[in-house]
């Protein structure tokens, strides 16, 4: 391996930046001890905007909550208690980490998910999913859990690299945090005739159905009058993508009246995901000292954490990991993209319960 040659010309800042803000404003991985809300390459370093880092963090979180409101309330019709504020937030927001995709060109948040780890859930007193499901059997599994929630993408960025960027960062966060399981609720909105529960489950591969020992029970079942036999909507493409990574449905769905959807509790063992992630997303791996893994990609697409681009990098239509590394050529790996569904570009890339 060799270091990136200083002669490589630098290009403008990456369009999409993905970073995490924790509840105390410290970047989740690189704890600097300064209380700064920063991305790994320092884009949101303390004092950059002329205000305190704490103020910057709160501003970004509120912007993310405003995006959530536009997607879940305005677009999907959710009934939120915070509607008068134009924001979507609840008590979980005070405990979780916030994973954000930021467009450096248009200066706006374009993708989001929130991350509630096991320690944070213990402080809160529960996982969000426990408000909908009885998780006693699942939570007896050995290892650490990470719950994801409120995943959404700006409508103007549907079908772009935002969702892949978000997923790449989420996986890296989970693996570096040494979590063993991703958990959460996959939301399915009703079709014209209601919820075709039996039809949905018939279309789920047997390998994506958890064993009965891991089944959960919903706190509120989908009412009989809201059910139907057939539905042309099918399984959302985002959920299909998670199935490809090995996620399992754990039992029957819960009815969420406020969000007008049914939620499926999902469990994804990360030992299955790690092999796929290492194979697909780590080809252009950048080590912590910024050393380029020579000849791994064959395209010269790897970049250092200071934002230096390798020659020939187009910077468009590719996956970006949390540290801004472009995974060139990743568009064909069956990752979290909606390209395999003809209606994907117009569908809401959003899952309220746990972002699945």
DSSP per position, 319-354: EE-TT--EETTGGGS--S--TTSTTGGGS--EETTT
Q: How far apart are CA 45 and CA 42, in angstroms?
A: 5
333 part of a folded domain: yes
Q: Is residue 2 part of a domain?
A: no
- The one-character DSSP state at 127 is -
Q: Give which of 10, 26, 27, 9 is closest to 18, Cα–Cα.
A: 27
Q: Tell me the mean pLDDT in the region 286-309.
A: 32
In the predicted model, is pLDDT for residue 320 greater than 90? no
Residue 108 resides in a domain: yes
What is residue 23's predicted lDDT score, i.e. its pLDDT? Answer: 65
Q: What is the pLDDT of residue 171?
A: 87
Mean predicted confidence (pLDDT) in 307-324: 33
Confidence (pLDDT) at 240: 85
Residue 50: pLDDT over 50: no
pLDDT of residue 332: 28
Q: Is residue 7 part of a domain?
A: no
Q: What CATH number has the domain bearing residue 173?
A: 3.40.630.30
**What pLDDT, on a 0 to 100 scale, did the predictor assign at position 235?**
81
Per-residue pLDDT at 98 exceeds 70: yes
pLDDT in tens, 261-281: 999 999 999 987 766 655 554
Mean pLDDT of the chain: 72
CA distances from 16 to 11, 59, 110 (A): 14, 19, 9
| Structure-token pair, residue 235 | 């399984």
What would the pLDDT profile of 202-257 be if each residue is shown by its tens digit? 999 999 999 999 999 999 999 999 999 887 667 887 788 789 889 999 999 999 99
| CA 245/CA 334 separation, integer angstroms | 9
For range 64-75, the mean pLDDT? 94
- Rounded Cα distance between 113 and 168, Å, is 12
Is residue 71 within 8 Å of residue 155, measured between CB atoms?
yes
Q: 10 Å Cβ neighbour count for 46?
A: 19
Residues 6+ apart with CB under 8 A from 106: none
Task: Give the tens place of pLDDT for each residue, 1-32.
Answer: 333 333 334 444 578 998 899 865 444 443 22
Which residue, chain included where needed, has tokens 């303390």?
46
**In the structure encoding, which two tokens stand for residue 95, read together?**
């405990």
pLDDT for residue 239: 85
pLDDT at 64: 97
Determine the pLDDT at residue 311: 31
Q: Which residue has the higher pLDDT, 258 or 37?
A: 258
Q: Please determine, for residue 70, whether its predicted confidence score (pLDDT) is greater than 70.
A: yes
**In 84-137, at which residue ranges do the beta strands (DSSP E only) sit?**
97-103, 108-117, 133-134
Query: How many structural domains is the chain composed of?
Result: 1
Interval 130-188: pLDDT, tens: 999 999 999 999 999 999 999 999 999 987 789 889 988 998 899 889 999 999 999 98
Whether 117 shows a pLDDT value over 90: the answer reads yes
3-state secondary structure of 312: coil
Distance of CA 117 to the CA centre of its chain: 14
Domain that holds residue 108: 13-351
Q: What is the distance between the alpha carbons of residues 68 and 29, in angstroms, rounded to a whole number?
A: 24
């Amino acid at each position: 391996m060799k270091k990136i040659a200083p002669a490589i010309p630098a290009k403008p800042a990456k369009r999409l930046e993905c970073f995490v803000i924790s509840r105390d404003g410290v970047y989740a991985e690189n704890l600097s001890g300064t209380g700064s809300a920063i991305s790994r390459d320092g884009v949101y370093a303390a004092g950059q905007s002329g205000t305190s880092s704490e103020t910057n963090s709160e501003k970004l979180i509120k912007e993310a909550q405003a995006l959530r409101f536009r997607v879940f309330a305005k677009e999907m019709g959710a009934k939120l208690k915070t509607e008068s504020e134009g924001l979507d937030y609840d008590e979980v927001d005070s405990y979780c980490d916030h994973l954000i995709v930021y467009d450096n060109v248009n200066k706006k948040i374009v993708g989001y998910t929130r991350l509630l780890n096991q320690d944070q859930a213990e402080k809160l007193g529960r996982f969000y999913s426990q408000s909908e499901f009885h998780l006693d059997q699942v939570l007896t599994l050995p290892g650490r859990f990470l719950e994801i929630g409120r995943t959404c993408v700006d409508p103007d960025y549907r079908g772009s690299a935002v969702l892949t960027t978000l997923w790449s960062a989420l996986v890296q966060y989970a693996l570096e945090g040494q979590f063993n399981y991703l958990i959460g609720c996959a939301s399915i909105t009703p079709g014209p005739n209601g919820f075709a529960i039996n039809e949905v489950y018939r279309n789920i591969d047997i390998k994506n159905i958890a064993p009965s020992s891991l089944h959960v029970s919903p706190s509120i079942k989908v009412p009989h009058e809201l059910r139907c036999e057939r539905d042309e909507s099918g399984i959302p493409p985002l959920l299909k993508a998670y199935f490809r990574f090995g996620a399992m449905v754990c039992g029957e769905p819960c009815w969420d009246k406020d969000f007008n959807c049914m939620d499926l509790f999902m469990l994804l063992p990360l030992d299955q995901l790690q092999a796929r992630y290492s194979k697909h997303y780590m080809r252009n791996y950048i080590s912590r000292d910024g050393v380029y893994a020579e000849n791994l990609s064959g395209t010269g697409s790897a970049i250092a954490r200071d934002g230096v681009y390798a020659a020939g990098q187009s910077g468009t239509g590719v996956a970006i990991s949390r540290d801004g590394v472009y995974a060139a050529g990743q568009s064909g790996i069956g990752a979290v993209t909606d390209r395999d569904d003809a209606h994907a570009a117009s569908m809401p890339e959003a899952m309220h319960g746990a972002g699945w």
